[in-house]
Every structure is written in structure tokens, then in C-alpha cells.
Structure 1
Amino acid sequence: MITGIAFAVLLFIGAPIGIVLGLSAAAYIFASNNQVLLGSYPIQMFGGVENYGLLAIPLFLILGEIMNGAGITTRLIGLARAFVGTVRGGLAYINVLANALMASILGSAAAQIAIMSRVIVPEMDREGYDRRFSVATTASAGLLAPIIPPSMMFVVYAVLARVATGDMFLAGIIPGLMMTAGFFLVIFCVGLVSPFPAPRPLGWGDRLRLLRDGALTLLIPVVIIGSITTGVATATESAAVACVAAYLIGRFVTREFHDRDLPRMLLAAGRNAAVVLFMVATAAVFGWVLTFGKVPQDIAAWIQTIATGPVSFMLLVNFILLVIGTVIDGIPGLIMVVPILLPIATDIYGIDPVHFGVVVSINLVLGLVSPPVGIALFIAAAVTKMKPGQIFLWTIPYCVTTAVVLVLLSIFPALTLYLVR
């Protein structure tokens, strides 16, 4: 009881989720007056981050910093323009396609939405698109970042669930492509109701130039996914190799990367990685305390009275996580729910942990565009100087599409496990 009260109060006053988890666990220990638990507290925290796979988090953050400094972002947008730039509504399709390409490199929704809001929304304004639609499309397409590999959410889940990070990356490919195709369908349907502006002409010479400039940037996702699928490198090692590839491209191909910026990039990546790793450490303590207090067992008994099979369990989890995702960000939400729900999913309902991880991640990602928190809405609104409420209604079709993908994944596990197997 004391843990729940401490958790609710700290969350209500807006404390960082890492502090919420750590202090809630400490409240239980002090209330129980168990000296053994108290002595094990720092050991559990250290054990939570004592995992080789977590090295991928700072490496992917460094990769994102180098990619931005190397001018790779603009070239990825140009590459998308070469493919769909002459279609009516082409810039909207470019928005989604460029986000999908960037998702295979960045792995962070917040960073991706901030970048794309600055780059492509002004371009869509110049061509006459409704600004609310432009910003909503940018915010929604940013949801692809934590799903299409590499993904920091998948790295954290792999550590929590003790599964291979490479398996999580492979499992995210088909769901990511399904979401991309669904977003294309939304854009097509919007264009039928409200015709888009005619696209600017793009000659074959310009198209070939964009393809030439952007083609080499695809080397980075090829290095990441290719090295994992062929067994040449682990997910962590592939992130390190991708950092080197991005540096070389920025230094000698695009020639926009400057060595003097590297210390600043390393500091920014280290600061962001420290926040994530602190949450992982406190989550280890929180999950340990919950297990000691038999909370998962009690929740499992309640769920079994409602869910009679794997599909009904997954649909129930979808509903619960959609609610949680509206108030808690992706990785913190993941850290909170996995220690409780994963044992129920695997031990009672026989659900593959990799499949469960993909569904949980997409669920929590959907909360990025859902009020009252909706961090994706706030980031896109802040960058484009709009109000989140103006954007939300235009994100609903994308949210519905993502929900349909979730239901399909819940019913057909093979959609996530095919490439893994």
C-alpha cells in the first residue's frame, strides 16, 4: 500500500520517473523495516545496468548526434523526394518516408520529431499544405522511430526481458513497414477529401542527383541491420560500427562534419544516456520490490479472471497500456510495466517475449501523440509555434491506423516473429 501511495504522489507532483521508481521502492523497504532489503538496494540498482546490451544506448545517441552534424538528415529527405516527390501530396509522403528512413538510424522519437518539424514543415508551408495537417503528419510519423530498428525502446526491453537485442530489431521491421504503409493510406484518404497542392516539377537530372547524394547515407542502416542478421556483430557492436560509418560519411563525403563539434556531441549523448540508464537502474529496484511484495502474482490472478487466452490477454494489455501511455512516456512506461506484465504473458499465456515486447512498445509509443502528456505533440507544437490542441484532431487518423496494426499484431504473432525465426 505504501509503495502505491508514494508512487501516485510522486507521479502527481511531476517528479522524474527515475526518482518515482527509486523512492517508491525505498518507501516499501523502510515501511517493512527489512534490513536485508535495505542492504540489497544499491546492489539491485547496480545489477540493473550491469548489462553489455545497454552500451547500445549511448552509442545510438552518439550516432544520432553525428548524423545531424554530418548533414545526413537533409540528404535522407532528398532521397525520399526522389522516390515520391512528383506525386500529388508528395511532400506528405516524403514526410513519412523520410521519417521511416531516419528511424532506421536515430531510434529516438523526440529527436526525430524535433528535426523533421524544423526541416519539412516549412517546406510544406511553402507548397500550400494545411499547417495543422503538416505538423500532425510530422508528429505521427515520428512514432516510427522507436519501432523501426534500431530502437532504444527495444534495447531497454531486451535488457528487461533478457532477450537478444538483435531479435527485437528484426521483430520491429514488419510492424514498422505496416505502420508506414498505413500512414501512406491515411495521406491518400485525406487527399481524396481535401485535394493536396500540385507538386513542384522534379526533372530526372535533379532526381538522379538526390539519389546520388542520399544513397550513401543508407549505408548506416545497412551496416546496423546487415551486421546483426548475418551474425557478424551484436546490436551493440553494430551501433559502434555505424558511428564510425556516419563519421566517415560526414567527414569525407558530405564534408559537413567538423571535429571541433565532437566533444559537444559526446557530452549531449552522455547526458541523455545517463537519464535513460538511471531509469533502468531504479526500475530494477522497483521490479525487485514488486516481486518481493507478490504484486505480479496478485495482478496475474486478477487478469486470469478476465482474459481466457493469449489473444484476449493481449487485447486487454493493449487497452491498459493505451491508458498508461497517455500519461507516461515510452521508455519510462516500458520500465514500469514489463516487470509486472511480462511474467504473466510468458508463464501463464505462453506468449513469446519478443512478440510481447513489440506490441508493448508500439502501445506506449502511441501515447506520444495522446493527451494529456503527448510529448510528440508538444515537441512538434513548440518547434512550429502552434498549440497542441490544434494538432491533435489531425493525428487521430494516424492513431487509429496504429491501433489497427496493434490489433493485427496481437492476433497474428507471426507478423513480428517471422523474420526472427
Structure 2
Amino acid sequence: MPSALAACAAARQSKFTALDALLWDAYKARSFDKDDTTDPDHAVRCWESPAGCPVVTAMAKSAQLDVARFTRDLAVCKPNVAQAASDMGRFGVGGIPGFFINGRAISGAVPFDVFQKVIDEELALASGRIKQGTRPAQYYQKWVIEKGLKAIEPVAQIPVAERPDPSIIPPRPTPTPVPRPARPMPDPAKTYTLAIDPLDATLGPADAKVTIIEATDYACPFCERVRGTLAQLQTKYGKDLRIVFKQLVVHPANAMPSALASCAAARQKKFAAMDALLWENFKTRSFDLDVPADPNLPDARAVRCWESSAGCPIVTAAAKTAKLDVARFKRDLVTCKANVDRAAADYAKLGVAAIPTFFINGRHLQGAQPVEAFERLIDDELALANERIKKGTKAASYYQQWVVDKGLKSLEPVAP
């Protein structure tokens, strides 16, 4: 309940997206506010107690909300949550997740295709109605709120004589499982092409025999966890290993400014210093957020911080700490967006949608694996590189020749 109230309170300040991400991170860590049990005879819900709800309040601070207003809104949001429960009850919704897409019900975490089918149907219907004169701004109100059913339609009553014996419990039908289509993945035995931009954030020499490319972002707990493993590998393999960090931002509300900051720092040869500071910000959940829309302008929208005159204060403070040229850093935040977008497109060609993901001389490894999993692939690739270098390949051109030029450029099509 405290998290539900916090989401409502954040929405009242147009900061739902930022707080939503933090609430789910807290869920992963099983970090929840509890009742105030100072009086053992009378537990008090945290939003009603003087102590408040410290877990969600800390998130509100990280998301740069007006904390005093947020604390007040926790209490006043309770009727909103109760009203939502009542509304769901009228339609027989008793399990979660439950969805209504333009008023059409979907129950459960169904495959993507199920959502897509309903959305496409509703989009086609909406497009037709808008062509016939309905204004987009009024569409939901007119065609869903006003014309939709207000409750589940009553089920026809069965005459008493025909009703089943209540003492007999009929067997529950076995539900037919809905097959979830397998997401295509790179084959770990094959080599895939991922080109390296000269401006990519890199640790290790350009002529290293083994290159690890990591898909990562700065709001990913498992990406932070694997940093220690990568440090071990650097110590063990020394100049034979290069690590390239190509951002794949799957938490855009929180991680995009940090992704741009790492790119901008790399352009000034200060990536390592900035990287350490950005991960310290992650640990305290300190992220730059969008600049809210001006409520006095009817068509105003929130602006990404790097596109605003106010800038991105958190990563800019890190740039000052790392002794970067701050004026250049701010300019590069904007131009680095193209680099991040290009990396995302490269990953998409290879079916990469989760982080952390690694390509070790083009060979795929998924997740924050134990160090031994990395070592097996590195040792294989190092032996192969040594053999090829003995036969004439230059170390400085090894990655380009054997990975970029000869690797697969995309996932191979799956046989039907």
C-alpha cells in the first residue's frame, strides 16, 4: 500500500515515471515500508504516523519531488486507491496484472502478441472514428467512458430445479497453457559483429587479443554487481584484455543522462573517473530527471535535461568532480545521443534486449555470470588469437579482421 500511495503522490507532481522505476528497484530488493508498531497494542499505517514512510520518502528525495507535498499526498491518495479497487471490483477483477485496452480486458502477463493484437484492432478503430470527426483529445471519454459497460452484465439465473447439487464439487478444468514464443538469442558458439567506435568508452589497449563489449546502463543492479568480476578479469589478463562499454539504456527515465555522461567523459579520456562517480550515484539512486512541463502552457511537455537550459545537474556535478571541461561536457551530452542510439540499433540486430550482456571477441554471454564463465570464453579466444597472430595477423588489426569483418552481422533467421 505505501508504494501504491507513493506512485499516486508522484503522479500529482508529474514524476510518476521516475518514482515507478525506483519502486520496482525496491521491490527487487524486497524493501518495503512497514506499519508503525511503536504502540504494541495499536499498529499505525506508516502514512498516518508521525514517523512517516521512510522507504518511499527516500525515493521521493532521489526523484527530486517536493517532499513535504509528497508526504501530505500519501494520505490524500488513499481514497484514489480505494476508488480504483472499487472500480475494478465492478468488472470482476480479482487478480493482477489486469489490463483494459480502450476498455477491453486482458488478464495476466500474457505474451506480447496478445497485447499487440488488441492494440492494433483498437488503433484501427480509433483511426476510423477520428477520420469521421471524433477529436483525439475526446476519443477515450466518448468511446470508452460514455459508451462502455459500467459493470459486468448479470449472468442469467438458473431455475432452482436445474441447479447443480452444491455438495458435489465439479473437477476444475485444466487450463490450456498459452505458449510463449521464444525470443531469438545469439548462439554462444558463433561470432557476431559489433564494431567499436573510436569514441566508445574503453578500458585496456586497442591491440588487446580479446575484446569484451558490455551492454549496460547505469540503473541496472546486475550491471553494478558484475563490475567486480570485470575488475578481476582485467587483473588476470592485463594487456591481453580490452573492455568496451556500449550503453543499452533499458531504464531511459533514469539512466539516459548517465549514459550520455559516460560517452561525454570518454571523449575527454576521463571515462574511468566518471564511471566510478556514476555508479556511486546509482547506489544512492541519484539520477537526473526530465524538466517538468510548464503547467501554464497548454501544449508544454517535459524536456530531457540535456536538451534544457537547466541542464543535468547531477552528472554535471560529477563532471566537475572528475575535472572535465564542463562546457565541452555539456555540449557532448547532446551529441552523444546519436552514439547511444546507434549502439541500441547494433544490439537490436543481434537480438539483445536485456542487460548486462557481453560479447567476448564476438561470442555471446548473457547476464552477471560467475568469473569462471568469462574465463572459459576468454581462454578459448586468447588461444585462438595467439594461433592466428603467429600465422601473420597483426594484433592491432585482430578484432577488426576476425570479429568485425568475419562475424555475423545479425541473428540468423529461425527455421519455421
Same fold (TM over 0.5): no
Q: TM-score range by the shorter chain?
A: under 0.3
TM-score, scaled relative to structure 2: 0.24
Q: Between the two structures, name the one with larger relative contact order (CA 8 Å, sep ≥ 6).
A: 1
Comparing both structures, which one devotes a greater share of its residues to helix?
A: 1
Comparing both structures, which one devotes a greater share of its residues to strand?
A: 2
Bigger Rg over Cα? 2
